[in-house]
Amino acid sequence: MQIANYLKEPYPYYYNNQQRLILVLLLISSLSFCFSYFFEPFTVNVAEHKIGTIWILFIHAFMPFPIAYLYIYLVNRTVKNEMNWTFGKEILNLSIILLIIGAANFLIRDFIYNNPDNWSFRYFWEEIRNTFLVGFLLLAIVLPLNLERLIAKHTASLKKLSPKMLPETNATIVTIKNTGSNEHIEFKIDTFLYAKVESNYTEVYTAAENGIHKVLIRITLKELEEQLKPYARVFKTHRSYLVNLNAIASISGNAQGYHLQLQKGSFKVPVSRSTIADFNAAYSKK
């Protein structure tokens, strides 16, 4: 059960920045090539080589690049909410990538090795095993250490927040307008809980006598943030969320950043890692 709970821990989703992804994959491929060239971790039989050793090392080091990029591209198209990404999903998807890379290494054996047993199960297992041996450092050491580092960092950051801050009251009626049409909504600013992007709309959640009221308006979050700019207690915690700082009931930390539990409802609003410092300053401001 402890392992199952650990795998359910929220984990940052690092793959939505294409430029950063390409740079990381190139760095990993380059390091893999240098490691294989200088340390020669696997036994090789030069007599079986159809091409030069340098080219074989290059193929094995850089072939994973397009495989990982294409797989992550497909994953990006399926991930709708980064908040749902967990440590277990990270491990699973990286393991699938390693499995595909191992299978690809097996399929290209006939092009680089002169061995009559290239298509045997023995070499299939050997390529899969060697790929996972290389990836073991990432799966079993780097990822858990990164998870623990981020949890500790964000938990420590929470302790710096002022627990005695009292919310302000403001019954001002706010009118949010869609500048491209006559569509608009109205609510009292002190009832505003949070807003989130949903497709081409923004969902605005406010407190009501019978619970929580949700209304859709065709407006970008940036436009909504601009119209709520006069109200200092409204803060953008994530690229998809605005929240009323006065509506926060409790805050918890995890590897993704913070999760804000609001005074009404069970939904948790995320605070991304990149906005934690600004959030701490805004939330602790008297």
- Residue 102 lies inside a defined structural domain of this protein: yes
What is the DSSP code string of 35-98?
HHHHH--S---GGGBSS-HHHHHHHHHHTHHHHHHHHHHHHHHH---GGG-BHHHHHHHHHHHH
Three-class DSSP category at 244: strand
Q: Cα separations (Å) of 155 from 86, 152, 160, 263?
A: 18, 5, 9, 21
For the packed helices 64-78 and 87-107, what is the interaxial angle rounded to 10 degrees?
140
Same domain for 236 and 180: yes
Q: Which structural domain range is residue 277 located in?
A: 173-284
Same domain for 132 and 11: yes
Same domain for 220 and 91: no
Digit-by-digit pLDDT tens for the chain (286 residues) are 788 999 999 999 999 888 989 998 998 899 888 888 887 777 778 888 999 989 998 998 999 999 999 999 999 999 988 889 999 999 999 999 999 999 999 999 999 999 999 999 999 999 999 899 888 888 889 999 999 999 999 999 888 786 544 455 566 888 998 877 788 899 999 899 999 998 788 999 999 888 899 999 999 999 999 999 998 889 999 999 999 999 999 999 999 999 999 988 778 899 999 999 999 988 887 5
Same domain for 123 and 38: yes
Question: What is the model's pLDDT at position 101?
Answer: 95
Angle at 132 between CA 128 and CA 138, to 5 degrees: 160
Same domain for 187 and 106: no
Question: What is the model's pLDDT at position 154?
Answer: 92
Question: What is the model's pLDDT at position 232?
Answer: 85
Same domain for 109 and 221: no
Same domain for 135 and 268: no
- Residue 156 lies inside a defined structural domain of this protein: no
C-alpha to C-alpha distance for 111 and 113, rounded to whole angstroms: 6
- Residue 6 lies inside a defined structural domain of this protein: yes
- The residue written with tokens 């006069």 in the block is 230
Angle at 176 between CA 175 and CA 177, to 5 degrees: 115
Question: What is the model's pLDDT at position 286?
Answer: 52
- Residue 135 lies inside a defined structural domain of this protein: yes
The CATH code of the domain that includes 253 is 2.40.50.1020
- Residue 273 lies inside a defined structural domain of this protein: yes
Same domain for 147 and 179: no
- Number of domain units in the chain: 2
Same domain for 137 and 20: yes
